[in-house]
Amino acid sequence: MKIGIMSDTHDNLPAIRMAVEFFNKEGVELVLHAGDFVAPFVAKELSKLNAPLKGVFGNNDGEREGLKERLGIKDEVLTLDLDGFKVIMLHGTDERIVEALAKSQLYDIVIRGHTHRHGIQEVGRTIVINPGEVCGYVTGIKSVAILNTTEREIRIINLENGKILGLMSL
């Protein structure tokens, strides 16, 4: 299964459009958003995804009722079973919680956002994925990740030039 992972879109509609086009071109079967959509009007661009979207709230998601109504977002933490991988997703505002979840070894994968810095990190047998920021406001890099459970691979990609920023085998 090919899963698109994004975070920190922060209302940047052109960047969201790039991410949606990339995920559609890649043929992802599910898209996970680790929070900071910000406002419900992003739903128009996200509705162009050819795959279902699941997400969690971030610390900058102010109009939560609108996000719930337009995108179905209702949780701050989401657990999923993706082809046998136990996954937990949260925005990751509190680093101690992210670290505790990774060290707990209860999950195979922890997906987080918030820092706007992309990265893939091993903590024991748990992989922590931060796709970086779609918006590009903080780092200047618009990035997303692809988790391929069939090929057992994680890639982080720069949306503007297609370069691989991070790669790990599971």
Q: Encode the chain (170 residues) as per-residue pLDDT tens digits.
A: 999 999 999 999 999 999 999 999 999 999 999 999 999 999 999 999 999 999 999 999 989 999 999 999 999 999 999 999 999 999 999 999 999 999 999 999 999 999 999 999 999 999 999 999 999 999 999 999 999 999 999 999 999 999 999 999 98
Handedness of CA 150, 36, 9, 143 (dihedral sign): negative
Residues whose CB falls within 8 Å of the CB of residue 32, separated by 6 or more in sequence, listed in order: 3, 4, 5, 6, 53, 54, 55, 78, 80, 89, 111
Cβ atoms of 36 and 63 closer than 8 Å: no
The pLDDT assigned to 134 comes to 98
Please tell me the pTM assigned to this model.
0.97
| Nearest to 30, CA basis, from 57, 54, 56, 6 | 54
Q: CA 95, CA 43: separation in Å to the nearest integer?
A: 28
User: In this predicted structure, what is the pLDDT of residue 62?
Assistant: 87
Q: Which of 112, 154, 108 is nearest to 1 (CA)?
A: 154
- Fold of the domain spanning 2-169: Purple Acid Phosphatase; chain A, domain 2 (3.60.21)
Q: Which residue, among 80, 50, 56, has the nearest Cα to 68 in the 3D structure? A: 56
For residue 53, the model assigns a pLDDT of: 98
pLDDT for the residue numbered 152: 94
